[in-house]
Amino acid sequence: MSTINLIIDGQTIEVEKGMTILDAAKKINVNIPTLCHHEDLCVAGNCRVCVVEVKGKDRLEASCATPAENGMEIFTNTAKVRNARKDIVSLLISEHNTQCTTCYRNTNCELQNLAAEYNVDGNKYLSVLKPNIKVDKSSWSIEKDDSKCIRCQRCVRTCAELQHVNALTAANKGHEMKISTFMDLPFNEVVCTNCGQCVNRCPTGALTERRYFNDVWDAIGDPTKHVVMNTAPSVRVALGEMFDYEIGTRVTGKMVTAMRKMGVDSVLDTDFAADLTIIEEGNELLTRLKAVLVDSNKEVKLPMITSCSPGWVKFIEHMFPNHLGHLSTCKSPQQMFGALTKTYYAQKKGIDPKNIVSVAIMPCAAKKYEANRPEMNSSGYRDIDAGLTTREFGLMIKQAGLNFKNLEDSKFDSIMGESTGAAVIFGATGGVMEAALRTAYAVVTGRSVPFENLNITAVRGTDGIRAASVKIEGCLPDWKFLEGANLNVAVAHGLKNARIIMDEIAAEKSPYHFIEVMGCPGGCIGGGGQPIPTNAEIRAKRTKAIYEEDMSKPIRMSHENPEIIKIYDEFLVKPLGHKSHELLHTHYRKRNRY
């Protein structure tokens, strides 16, 4: 890689050729403000707050969009630069709904931060905020408030580049320009997968998750209700960020205590249902393999693809409606958990399921939509009554007046609170695959997977698509048909990569038997409901914490979870049995592209 030299604020530095002025400045600890820039996304250069002065040029340059050049002399802190930035922030404020105190993103808003830094006079310019902007609350997952939109198009780029969904786009021009959906339809009528990646990247409060925490407080305050809360694997490695912990800190114990102190009746773990998913899904995979390889059953589809990520599920329903047969019929851990809460749990605890309120704390915006899918009521009651994001949950802890950092650690309640390391890694891309392989290999061969410490590193990592092949040898008698076979698996995260996987399947060129797809980049640790900001570095730290949590668990294979063994003994009878099909499996529906 060739390098170049340039001078920034009097300091000479050497940087790689092609690096932007913005990144070059970062290297010498010069912070340049940005709004439209996000390191996950392509350069836009449209907000213009990152302008800097380049010697010899009258016009300022957008540092995020301008490559550093050899011999360039840059000034980031001149009166001209400061005045221009202040003017630009003032202009943004002039078209903005500045009711900051009542905004969900208050104190975590990039525009607000800049307005404060530059001490912007809100009355310098006349208000050009469009009157009568209606907040789109049509979606179960996402709210869109154009009065808070700064047109940075991060959401548009997220939806197009990272997710290949294109539910959002820039529409109209000039003063009418806005971020819109196809034909300006409400969010619930377009291809939106509810992944919430746009929400996570929105610098302001224009895109937010639909909040349900007030409903949860109502339930907690209602003495006739029994509130059961369960938390997804990735929440415990990200929640700390809302309480000034270093990124990647595991706060499992404090999180459990916080829920209990909030007044939740039973504090349980979605991880339990993740272990259960592995049993059901693992058996489904083996059944499908037998049907295809031994019985030549043309009705049964391979590769089988995981179905835990509701953003992904809605994506395939919209984009590949003729290939729904590849999806595992397993409900996601959230929904399995909910269905069992209203049945198994209710029976064991002797509580009328109509009085149980099941609440899921998720890293996800799409989980809200999933909870509201009409078919998710197999017990006769809603599987899940409310799905909250990590962010909403953090807010509830604050509202409850809890000093989170000083809380003592405690353990999940029982039943349905026990889990293994295999369940925790559901939170990172590749985790479901690894957990499934740990169990499936053990079921088929009676031995542990041939990887050191059970760590199947081939399916870990950050590459968008990762493939691996596991040779199956020494099968137990029931599984002799798999003897010597190579099980080809793949992992994809981010819907852009899911599309590549699906294009292969649609072209009948997919070499795989089993595929894990997570809708969000990095998997759930990078979910749309996680603390803001989320970027590659933060995702890496949360992922590291997930694998540490796995290693810290005494049991690391789902089928060895004693509560799982017990639930089959006491209630479900056997994997893919009658009860399982009734409560733990689901079906999908074809949707349009628009």
Partner 1 sequence: MANNKLNKADIIFSPYSVEPYEILKNTMQKDKTFVVNELIESGLKGRGGAGFLTGLKWKFFAAENNEEKYVICNADEGEPGTFKDRKLLVEVPRKVISGMAIAAWIGNAKHGIIYLRAEYKYLIPELKKELAIFDEYSKKFGLTFSIEIFNGAGAYVCGEETALIESMEGKRGEPRNKPPFPIQNGFLGKPTLVNNVETFASATMVCRYGSTEYKTYGTKDQRGSKLFSISGDSPKEGVHELELGMKISDFVNEFGDGDTKAVQIGGVAGFCIPRKEFETSIIGEGNTTGGATMLFNSTRSMYNVIHNYLDFFAEESCGQCTPCRVGTQQLLKGIEAVKSGEKPDTYLDELIKLSKTMKITSKCGLGQSVTNSFASIVKNFREEMLY
**Which residues form the catalytic set?**
281, 284, 308, 328, 367, 370, 375, 524
Do the Cβ atoms of 129 and 95 come closer than 8 Å? Answer: yes
Task: Decide if residue 566 touches partner 1 (CB under 8 A).
Answer: no
Which range touches partner 1 (CB under 8 A), out of 141-149, 172-180, 284-292, 352-360?
172-180
Q: Which residue in 6, 32, 74, 92 binds partner 1 (CB under 8 A)?
A: 92
59 binds partner 1 (CB under 8 A): yes
Query: Total binding residues for partner 1 by CB under 8 A?
Result: 38
| 170 near partner 1 (CB under 8 A) | yes
| Spatial distance between the Cα atoms of 460 and 464, rounded to a whole number of angstroms | 11
465 lies in the site for partner 1, by CB under 8 A: no
| Choices 4-12, 84-92, 310-318, 420-428; region in contact with partner 1 by CB under 8 A | 84-92
DSSP collapsed to 3 states, 211-269? CCHHHHHHHHHCCCCEEEEEECHHHHHCHHHHHCCCCCCCCHHHHHHHHHHHCCCEEEE
Residue with Cβ nearer partner 1 (87 or 504) = 87
478 Cβ contact partners less than 8 Å away, ≥ 6 residues apart: none
Contact with partner 1 (CB under 8 A) among 55, 80, 480, 593? 80
Instruction: Write out the DSSP string of 162-201.
Output: IT-----EEES-GGG-EEE-GGG--GGGSS-----HHHHH
Of the residues 15, 41, 150, 436, which one makes contact with partner 1 according to CB under 8 A? 150
Place of tokens 């909403």: 392
Q: How far is the CB of 582 from partner 1 (least distance, A)?
A: 49
> Which residues lie below 8 Å from residue 131, measured CB to CB, with a gap of 6+?
none
Is 94 an interacting residue with respect to partner 1 (CB under 8 A)?
yes
Tell me how far CA of residue 451 lies from CA of 42, 105, 322, 400, 472, in angstroms: 38, 45, 37, 45, 13
Judged by CB under 8 A, which stretch of 61-69, 370-378, 394-402, 527-535 contacts partner 1?
61-69
Task: Assess 71 for contact with partner 1 (CB under 8 A).
Answer: no
> Distance between CA 85 and CA 32 in Å, rounded?
10
CA-CA-CA-CA torsion sign (530, 531, 532, 536): negative
Taking the complex as a whole, the smallest distance from the CB of residue 585 to partner 1 amounts, in Å, to 43
Strand 304-305 to 266-269 pairing: unpaired
Q: Between 159 and 362, name the residue whose CB sits nearer to partner 1.
A: 159
The answer to whether residues 318 and 195 touch, using CB atoms and an 8 Å cutoff, is no
Residue that the structure tokens 């302001």 belong to: 204
Q: How far is the CB of 459 from partner 1 (least distance, A)?
A: 34
Q: Which region among 119-127, 191-199, 420-428, 445-453 touches partner 1 (by CB under 8 A)? A: 119-127
Interface residues with partner 1 (CB under 8 A) are: 43-49, 51, 58-60, 62, 65-67, 80, 83-84, 87-88, 91-92, 94-95, 124-126, 128, 150-151, 153, 170, 172-177
